[in-house]
Structure 1
Amino acid sequence: MQSVLVTGGAGFLGSHLCDRLIRDGHEVLCVDNFFTGSRRNVAALLNEPGFELMRHDVTFPLYVETERIFNLACPASPVHYQFDPVQTTKTSVHGAINMLGLARRVKARILQASTSEVYGDPDVHPQPESYLGRVNPIGIRSCYDEGKRCAETLFFDYHRQHHLDIKVVRIFNTYGPRMHPNDGRVVSNFIVQALRGEDITIYGDGSQTRSFCYVDDLIEAMVRMMDTDTGFTGPVNIGNPSEFSIRELAEKVIAMIGGPSKLVFRPLPSDDPRQRQPDIALARSALDWEPKVALDDGLRETVRYFRDLLKA
């Protein structure tokens, strides 16, 4: 048993991680400011003796005792991180500084949930960890992209300067139950629109590609990364290398749900990447990990979740 702090623990990924850590027998302190997270996501854990929920914003220091820290706190969808871009940057940068300071004080191992967005709109495909990215530093997505890049810089500077035990994972598109229904991501957007019988909105011509990883696979990789030997820092790409166009995804959702939904096309937003596919060779070799859940199977679970949510 270990004491584990999960920032952003009431969010989509964080709540699944808390589930897993409690199941594995750890004591979990879940910290969230509930900007995009929800108490509903962790309601089933509230009666667990090893689980504690705290409302806190990571842009302020946190003084607790813990052995391990998963730093997941940050809005991760364009709708939410562009709502208050200055606060998004603060969450990534000040949040990293505060959590790294905590890890240094209590000598904890700390994992940063970084993102494939550090690669920007890539001109290398698929993207290996060695690729340095092509990011617009002044665009509308920069608050998130550059905030996460700066957080990685801080993690590695703390590692070099203070010998902190760090782990960094770069998360590619992940989907599954507990996604926010209004987060603007393609999987949740398409499913909610289809369930409501609305037309499905595609930005651009739908030829841009993404790789979709089911949440259970993602959490397994994060736990394995945290458990790797001291000295292996990453960064490590975590995602599903199976690549689908946005149009293919929309057609899968319509076929699965049925109904009158048609495809409608809108202009492509600024700085939207054309391709996004992880090279997971390092994850395979260092973590003995690769995704197991096929897109159709994961979509069925996600559709079931949103159908129940909309009924409620």
Structure 2
Amino acid sequence: MNNPIDSNKMLSEDIDQTLKKRELFEQFRNKNILVTGSTGLIARVLVYTLLVANEKLNLNLTLFPIARNVEKAKRLYGDWYDSKALQFIFQDVREKIECDQKLDFVFHAAAATGSKTLIERPIESFETQVLGMENILRLAERDDAKVLYFSSMEIYGQPVIEGMSTEKDLGYVDPLVIRSGYPEAKRACEFLGKAFSEERGVFVINARLAQTFGPGVLKDDNRVFAQFIRGAINKEDLVLHTDGSSLGNYCYIRDVIEALLLLIKVGKTGNSYNVVNEATNVSIKDMAKLVANKFGNGKVVIDIPDGPTGYAPKVNLHLSGEKMRDLGWKPTYDLEEMFARTIESFN
């Protein structure tokens, strides 16, 4: 068993590119870092990146990833699972976080995201986010640690403005729709972070993440971009289970990782930041056509099932990335390049 990047040239290249920005990593020298949701895509690639940085830059950092499934963690981290720099904590974040070490940084990503789970287990899904956030904030208060919360573009709900949405332009979310538990929990967590920042002096930043993908996506990922990739590789028709008119906002995984490292270094506590490549704003249907025409058999089929699907509601949202750009961050790959590199990593 090898480490996870040995067989993924694209992911290894991305991490090496990020390591060129050495100033982003010096903040972690001799520090302890807690990462929740460590088997999910973004947190996992973040941990991979920090592990490589630790080896190549001699940072002497220690990572405390939180996960619930031991076997899954062993499978996803390979030989790194036994690294001295990696000390897994296996628990549910809804419970008090069991970490006796003094922490310097917390990257909080844990959340239920599967469409089926959000519909069938709305209470547990909501609690995972809100109770988890409170537990993280109390731990950060104990240790005077910096917290970066992984929020979501879904926090915007249905936009009430025309044009691009900045961090102040929140829209409408119906609290009586079961699927709304996800964005409502994100809103509640951002409020908790702001409250702990104002009342207790805890350093908290929210990264409102666009849909993120790239090398590191698992082949059995069930999100729409992964479904499109598998269909394109197999030269199958790309099947949409909605009319595909909802506008999506996307960002490449390496760009997101660099944004997170920059935010926890120079971001302002109590603030939220959109992490998005503005040039990737596109409807689901047009994205399917791009993938089908560039990488697949050229065919897109719409097949809308009866009954609830658990998909996020249709939106016309175009996120602004201006606030992140003001910090000196800029995305690299466009949507076609994102798919090309992810497909190559799958192959």
Q: Which residue of 2 aligns with 1:179?
A: 217
After superposition, residues 40-51 of structure 1 pair within 5 angstroms as 40-43=75-78, 45-51=80-86
CA distance in 1 between counterparts of 2:320 and 2:82 reads: 40
Aligned-pair identity in percent equals 26
| Cα displacement string for residues 252-292 of structure 1 (whole angstroms, at most 9, x for unaligned residues) | 2123333475423426967613223211111111x211211
CA distance in 1 between counterparts of 2:270 and 2:105 reads: 14
**Contact (CA 8 Å) 1:172, 1:212: kept in 2 or not?**
yes
CA distance in 2 between counterparts of 1:288 and 1:272 reads: 33
**Unmatched tracts of structure 1, length 5 or more:** 308-312
Q: After superposing the two structures, state which structure 1 stretch, 266-275 or 111-120, moved more.
A: 266-275
Deviation (angstroms), 1:165: 1.1
Deviation (angstroms), 1:11: 1.1
Counterpart amino acid of 1:290?
K
**Contact (CA 8 Å) 2:288, 2:300: kept in 1 or not?**
no
Q: After superposing the two structures, state which structure 1 stretch, 133-142 or 20-29, moved more.
A: 20-29
**Unmatched tracts of structure 2, length 5 or more:** 1-28, 55-60
CA distance in 1 between counterparts of 2:251 and 2:298 reads: 28
CA distance in 1 between counterparts of 2:300 and 2:237 reads: 5
Counterpart amino acid of 2:32?
S
Q: Which residue of 1 aligns with 2:139?
A: 102
CA distance in 1 between counterparts of 2:231 and 2:296 reads: 11
* 1:157–1:202 distance in 2 versus 1, CA, 3 Å: same
After superposition, residues 96-245 of structure 1 pair within 5 angstroms as 96-124=133-161, 125-181=163-219, 183-228=221-266, 231-242=268-279, 243-245=281-283
CA distance in 1 between counterparts of 2:322 and 2:270 reads: 16
Q: Which residue of 2 aligns with 1:289?
A: 329
Correspondent of 1:57 among 79, 89, 92: 92
Q: Which residue of 2 aligns with 1:247?
A: 285
TM-score under structure 1 normalisation?
A: 0.89
Counterpart amino acid of 1:88?
S
* 1:181–1:121 distance in 2 versus 1, CA, 3 Å: farther
TM-score under structure 2 normalisation?
A: 0.80
Q: Which residue of 2 aligns with 1:305?
A: 345
Deviation (angstroms), 1:240: 1.2
CA distance in 1 between counterparts of 2:74 and 2:294 reads: 30
1:276 aligned onto 2:317: yes
Q: Any idea what SS the aligned residue of 2:278 has? A: coil
Q: Which residue of 1 aligns with 2:16?
A: none
Q: Which residue of 1 aligns with 2:46?
A: 17
**Contact (CA 8 Å) 2:167, 2:274: kept in 1 or not?**
yes
Q: Any idea what SS the aligned residue of 1:96 has? A: helix
Q: Any idea what SS the aligned residue of 1:235 has? A: strand
Q: Any idea what SS the aligned residue of 1:266 has? A: coil
**Contact (CA 8 Å) 1:139, 1:271: kept in 2 or not?**
no
Counterpart amino acid of 1:30?
P
**Contact (CA 8 Å) 1:70, 1:112: kept in 2 or not?**
yes
Q: After superposing the two structures, state which structure 1 stretch, 206-215 or 143-152, moved more.
A: 206-215
Counterpart amino acid of 1:121?
Q
**Contact (CA 8 Å) 1:77, 1:183: kept in 2 or not?**
no
| Cα displacement string for residues 8-47 of structure 1 (whole angstroms, at most 9, x for unaligned residues) | 1121111111012223333211111249x75433225324
Q: After superposing the two structures, state which structure 1 stretch, 252-261 or 136-145, moved more.
A: 252-261
CA distance in 2 between counterparts of 1:154 and 1:262 reads: 42
**Contact (CA 8 Å) 1:12, 1:41: kept in 2 or not?**
no
Q: Any idea what SS the aligned residue of 1:132 has? A: coil
Q: Any idea what SS the aligned residue of 2:63 has? A: strand
CA distance in 1 between counterparts of 2:287 and 2:73 reads: 27
Deviation (angstroms), 1:110: 0.9
Aligned residues between the structures: 305
* 1:83–1:306 distance in 2 versus 1, CA, 3 Å: farther
Deviation (angstroms), 1:212: 1.6
Counterpart amino acid of 1:277?
H
Deviation (angstroms), 1:298: 1.5
CA distance in 1 between counterparts of 2:53 and 2:131 reads: 30
